[in-house]
Amino acid sequence: MQKELDLVVYGSLNMDYVGYVEKLPKPGETLASNEFIVSPGGKAANQAVASAKLGAKTAMIGRVGNDQIGLSMKEELSKAHVDNECVTITEDVQTGIAMVWVNEAGGNSIVTYKGANENLTKDDIDKSVEKVTRSQGAILQLEMPKDVAQYTIETVSKQGKKVILNLAPIVDIENHYMKMIDLLIVNEPEAEFLAGNKVDSIESAKEAIHIISELGIEHIIITLGEQGAVFKSGNVIKHHAAPKVEAIDTTGAGDCFVGAVSYFWLRRNNLDEAVKHAIQVAALAVTKKGAINSLPTIKDYENFQKQINIDI
């Protein structure tokens, strides 16, 4: 008998090549890094592992190349207890990579190569339906062809499951598909794209949420980095602050938030509570280096939340 799932995550798997520098380079500038690591990542893989480490029964849908990097990515998912059966090895295509620079404040600059991620097809989505039917919902981002992303939204929605969209990178998804979204998660630039207004504060984020909700989406989150997040659930709009931590590396922090908030929301159907906890989990993640390597386990979070007096 097949086990039930909490989440199915669609999207990208990359290997991250990360250099730590005093400051981010200017155009034409050459800098020497103080440290260099190779770390598994990719938005979808980060989100899948983030939710799994917190206790979610998670499956990943994506593509890697027929190379050592791709095999390593599949092994990394297995180590995190993520179902990787539908992570397809693609012949004659390289696994996706990301080149990351991280400055002393933990800020980063990233260049990606899509590689096998761009080969995700509607057939891959069709093959995943059995997993979707056993889940509560699905997460997707947009490091995949637009038509496949829209097909994924429609396919998950038709199964009566929750559709969670992280609009990253920015892609102009047609309104017909946006209306199928149950939970939309965006950062400031992504919120600006949808709302048409500058988003650089808590108040401007609240204004943007009003505008974005006119697309017909009931649950919306705008992440604000160290300022936490603003969310809308039904008629409630609220802000949760982030705890003060020493940021070492913010790579993957947004993905950590997406994976965490999705799991907590599906588990208890309470977005207020889910956002509060996901902010804490993401804050803990930035205190370590790497993307997947920095993602906290539920035990890590339990210890952290005792320090900040939050119950999970």
pLDDT at 310: 53
Range of the domain at 219: 7-12+42-95+116-308
Residue 8 has pLDDT above 70, yes or no: yes
Residue 36's φ and ψ, nearest 5 degrees, are -140, 130
pLDDT at 59: 98
Q: Count the residues in the chain.
A: 312
Q: How confident is the model at residue 39 (pLDDT cuts 50, 70, 90)?
A: confident
pLDDT tens sequence across 143-156: 999 999 999 999 99
Q: Assess contact for 12 and 141: CB atoms under 8 A.
A: yes
| Domain annotation covers residue 212 | yes
Average pLDDT rounded to a whole number, residues 219-247: 95
| Domain annotation covers residue 232 | yes
Average pLDDT rounded to a whole number, residues 204-220: 96
Q: How confident is the model at residue 95 (pLDDT cuts 50, 70, 90)?
A: very high
Residue 195 has pLDDT above 90, yes or no: yes
pTM for this model (two decimals) = 0.92
Average pLDDT rounded to a whole number, residues 207-217: 96
pLDDT at 247: 85
pLDDT at 159: 98
- Whether the bond between 189 and the residue before it is cis, its omega within 30 degrees of 0, is no
Least confident of 1-10, 157-166, 190-199: 1-10
Domain count, the chain: 1
pLDDT tens sequence across 10-28: 999 999 999 999 999 889 9
| Domain annotation covers residue 192 | yes
Half-sphere exposure of 112 (CA within 13 A, CB side): 20
| Domain annotation covers residue 249 | yes
| Domain annotation covers residue 28 | no
Write out the H or E segment, with its range, that includes residue 284. helix 271-285
Report which of 10, 38, 42, 37 is spatially closest to residue 115, judged by C-alpha positions: 42
Q: How confident is the model at residue 50 (pLDDT cuts 50, 70, 90)?
A: very high
Least confident of 86-90, 217-221, 226-230, 287-291: 287-291
* Rounded CA separation 111/240 (Å): 30
More confident position, 170 or 107:
170
161: Cβ–Cβ under 8 A, 6 or more apart, which residues? 132, 133, 135, 136, 137, 138
Strands (E), 127-277: 137-140, 162-166, 183-186, 219-223, 229-233, 236-240
| Domain annotation covers residue 29 | no
Write out the H or E segment, with its range, that includes residue 61. strand 58-65
Residue 2 has pLDDT above 70, yes or no: no
| Domain annotation covers residue 148 | yes
Burial (0-12, 13-18, 19+ Cβ within 10 Å), 158: exposed
| Domain annotation covers residue 151 | yes
Where residue 124 sits, what CATH number does that domain have? Answer: 3.40.1190.20
pLDDT tens sequence across 112-130: 899 999 999 999 999 999 9
pLDDT tens sequence across 245-302: 888 887 789 999 999 999 999 999 999 999 999 999 999 998 888 778 789 889 989 8
* Rounded CA separation 192/172 (Å): 13
Report which of 166, 191, 179 is spatially closest to residue 259, judged by C-alpha positions: 166
Q: Which residues are catalytic?
A: 255
Tell me the three-class secondary structure of 227-251, residue by residue: HCEEEEECCEEEEECCCCCCCCCCC
